[in-house]
Amino acid sequence: MINDLTYQSIEPSQNLSDFVDSFWRMENKSDQTLETIGLPDGRIDLSLIKTAKTPFQIRLLGLSTQQYEKGKIPANSLTLTISFKLPVVEYIFRESVADLVNSGKLLNDNFWDFNENDLEDFELFSAKASSKINSLLVKEIDNRKQKLFRLLYATKGNMTVKEFSEKSNWSSRQINRYFTQHFGISLKAFCSILRFRASLEHIAKGNLFPEENFSDQTHFIKEIKKISGSLPKELFQNKNDRFILLSALSSK
- DSSP letters for 21-59: EEEEEEEE-SSS-EEEEE---S-EEEEEEE-SSS--EEE
**How much is the pLDDT for 249?**
62
What is the span of the domain harbouring residue 199?
A: 143-250
Strand stretches in the chain, DSSP E: 5-10, 20-28, 34-38, 44-50, 57-61, 68-73, 77-84, 104-107
Looking at the fold, whether 21 and 131 belong to one and the same domain comes out as yes
How distant, in Å, are the alpha carbons of 94, 125, 139, 160, 190 from that of 39?
A: 26, 25, 33, 23, 14
Q: Say if residues 149 and 42 touch (Cβ distance below 8 Å).
A: no
Interatomic CA distance for residues 198 and 210, integer angstroms: 10
Q: Which residues of the chain have pLDDT under 50?
A: 1-2
Looking at the fold, whether 115 and 156 belong to one and the same domain comes out as no
Looking at the fold, whether 124 and 17 belong to one and the same domain comes out as yes
- Cβ atoms < 10 Å from Cβ of 24: 19
- DSSP letters for 142-158: -HHHHHHHHHHHHHTT-
Alpha helices, DSSP H only, in 205-243?
217-228, 232-237
What pTM value is reported for the model? Answer: 0.88
Q: Which of 91, 107, 136 is the last residue in one of the domains?
A: 136
**How much is the pLDDT for 247?**
63
Looking at the fold, whether 164 and 50 belong to one and the same domain comes out as no
Looking at the fold, whether 22 and 51 belong to one and the same domain comes out as yes
**How much is the pLDDT for 12?**
97
**How much is the pLDDT for 211?**
65
**How much is the pLDDT for 244?**
67
Looking at the fold, whether 32 and 111 belong to one and the same domain comes out as yes
Looking at the fold, whether 128 and 10 belong to one and the same domain comes out as yes
Looking at the fold, whether 214 and 104 belong to one and the same domain comes out as no
Say which CATH number the domain at 222 has. Answer: 1.10.10.60
Q: Which of 136, 165, 193 is the last residue in one of the domains?
A: 136
Looking at the fold, whether 109 and 88 belong to one and the same domain comes out as yes
Closest by CA to 229, choosing from 13, 40, 21, is: 40
- Measured at the CA of 64, the angle between CA 141 and CA 25, to 5 degrees, comes to 80
